[in-house]
Every structure is written in structure tokens, then in C-alpha cells.
Structure 1
Amino acid sequence: MKFFKDVLPWKWTLLLSIFILLLVDVFSFYGLYTNKFYLFKIDNYIIPILSIVHFVFLYVLWFKIKEKELSDPPMRNLEYLLYVIGIIYVFKFFDTLFILLTYNDYENYLIPDTFIPLGLAILFLYLVLLLLTTITIAHRKQLVGTYHFDDMNQHVDNWGD
């Protein structure tokens, strides 16, 4: 992971994450089998709604790095939500892979020519998004710090001293 942190600085990681998230949000409405965008299916809104948490985490990380602040409990909670969303990204990666592997099952049907190229592009976007999420968390640990809240109140000046 150190290699990726050295090759990809935190600003580029944030910018690429935003770009990839926007592309994943757009392609979450795309139907591979039909080559159409479906805006009225409720299932297609899951990834864009969950990506809001990802965008908020990226903003909080950017703010903490810019202001040289330490981590806090709300940031920790956002990161824990991001772990759950990462599991959903993994599910969508394997779901897209499964759809791509069913190409030969429908050879008697008319499948669009864009099925394989766009399917591979979406698969690649989910893979890059997972990698960027991991690198972002590594940058958070390095630049903002770890989450140590057990002794947070021990350094406060008490009235009883």
C-alpha cells in the first residue's frame, strides 16, 4: 500500500475518487443487456445515494488535511459507513462480473455491441473505486491520524485539580 500512497498523492486520490464516483453514479442507471438508461427503477438509485456518504467522507478528509485537524468521532463514523459501502461496491463488482459471464447464455438473443466494452469499463470502475477507497483510508491514517478516543478526556484540565 505504501507504493500506491507514494505514486498517488492525496490530492490526486481525492480528485480521482470524485471523478470515478460520478462515473459509477451515472453507470448505475445503465442496463448492459438493453443499452439503455433506466431512471425510473428504484434499484438504480442505491449507489448514487450511498455515494453521498463517500462524497461527504472525501470532503471531511480534505477539510481535516487542509486545516491540519485531528480525527474526530463523526469522521470515524463516516469511515465505518464507508467500510459498509465498500462491501456494496464489492457486491456490485461481482454482480457486473456475473452479468458479463452470462454473455454466452443469451447468444440466441440480440445483445448490443456495447455489452462487453461497457461491461468491462464498469467492472474496471468498481475495481478502481475500491482501490482508491483503500488508498484514501491509508492517506487518512497517515495525514490525519488514527482514531484514539479512549484517553481523549484525560488531558483536559479538571476543576478538581
Structure 2
Amino acid sequence: MSSTLPPRGSDLPWLLLLGFRALIDDVHAELAEAGHPGFRSLHGVAFKAIGDGVTASELGRRLGVSKQAAGKTIEGLEREGYVERVADPADARSKIIRLTARGVEVQQRAFEAMARLRAQWAEQLGEEQMVAIEEGLRAMTADRETRFDIPGWFKG
């Protein structure tokens, strides 16, 4: 009985996913300790998609979900005090979703936590190797569109 070894690199997607998961889980643990226990991975993706402000329809498009699903995400973020709806200066019938001061604060905490985690990884791997990983991933993804529809992508 012979066993066939998988080709080199076949575990690369899993390793990238595990690394992603480790970083995100650790960031969320820090956020929970800092008073944001309800902040979820989807919220971070939504924050990226919201950027400097976005309509509910555009948020839905960016996240790859319906306007109704985007509305539910927005409602949850509003309940937590992370976003607010303000009048759209370009369209009186529309509202812009933007981060509140609390939203900016949790985002800043997440950035700081990620910087600390990156430093820990660099300490373990070496700064040169860490930079090589980051530069390599940037090079391999440079021609890719930034997509925020991660939750939908996993659903198939």
C-alpha cells in the first residue's frame, strides 16, 4: 500500500487561513478586554468597506450582500455605537453610514493590537523574514481587487 504525498504547497491556503485566524482571534480577544466584547470579525470587514462613509446600498455591494443584509449589519453596529447614519450632502433622500467616535476608537485599538501581534511574529520569525512574507503577499495580490465579501465567499 503506497501513500501519495500531497504536492509541495498544497497546505499553503490552510497555513494562510490559520495565520489569518490566529491574528484576528488575538485582536478580538484584546478588543474584548478593552471593553468591546461584541466586536466580531464581520464588523472589521464592514469597517473596511465603510471607509470614510458609504450608503447602505453601496455597503451591500461592497460586502456582496443584499441591501437588507447590509441594513442588519448597520443596525447591529449602530446598537453597539460604532456607526451612525448622517444626511448625504449629495442626495437628501439618502443616508451615509460612517464610524462614530466609538467606532474610530475600536478601529484604532484593533490597529494597535495588530501592530503588537506583527511585532510578536517578527520576533519569532525575524524581521527580515516577516518583511519578506509581507512583500511577497503584496506582490502576489497586487493585481487583485480589494473585496470585502469574505463571509459570503466562504458560504459558496
TM-score (ref. length: structure 2): 0.31
Which entry has the higher C-alpha Rg, 1 or 2?
Answer: 1
